[in-house]
A and B are shown apart, each in its own frame.
Chain A
Amino acid sequence: AQSVTQLGSHVSVSEGALVLLRCNYSSSVPPYLFWYVQYPNQGLQLLLKYTSAATLVKGINGFEAEFKKSETSFHLTKPSAHMSDAAEYFCAVSGISGGYNKLIFGAGTRLAVHP
């Protein structure tokens, strides 16, 4: 079955440190890839998406992600964490078998940022 794996359900970083949230997918063809963020008591908000254009995708709030086909990965990074980045982050794919445009999500990574 197609799947998305997010390594680390909880990640903690210091303010100003690098943020790295990992996402790997299983698919025989390159899918479309998304990162969503959920702040407390809010809906999922799109951070960025990969749709087969540039492999390095820049999103909102200083986040970016790089699509690596050879590694089937789409890790999310931010050079310098801010307290406001504390939230839960979800990696998702679409365009793979079993439902062309439904999203398949990873389990989520909760990011904590401490002073």
Chain B
Amino acid sequence: EAGVTQFPSHSVIEKGQTVTLRCDPISGHDNLYWYRRVMGKEIKFLLHFVKESKQDESGMPNNRFLAERTGGTYSTLKVQPAELEDSGVYFCASSEQALAKNIQYFGAGTRLSVL
């Protein structure tokens, strides 16, 4: 069974450009999460989808970030326009149910470098 896949694995862009990250969750997982780790800091929650609906987007930093999950399958996270402080590793995770005790399975992350 395929795990959570993310691409690209690494993206280097210039300030002001747009970048789109993609996440494919484990098949059958209705719950999809995005997290971000800025260098040297802790991994922080961005948002949570249940199928195609945003359940919790309290961690989204600002309106330059747009997450979508059309059809309730894969998800994209677009940053437009990118700023220097957006650099970091973006992780995606998925789980079968939205219970606190459920395991979230993580992808390898996308390392975003904004120059």
Contacts and interface: CB of A to CB of B under 8 A. Distances in A.
A41 interface: yes
Interface of A: 4, 31-32, 34, 36, 41-46, 49, 51, 90, 92, 94-95, 98-108
B100 A49 contact: no
Main secondary structure of the interface of B (DSSP, over half): loop
A101 B48 contact: yes
A102 B59 CA distance: 10
A103 B45 contact: yes
Given A43-B108, A44-B106, A108-B42, A98 B58 contact: yes
B80 interface: no
Nearest to A91: B42
Contact of A100 (B3, B59, B100): B100
Contacts of B2: none
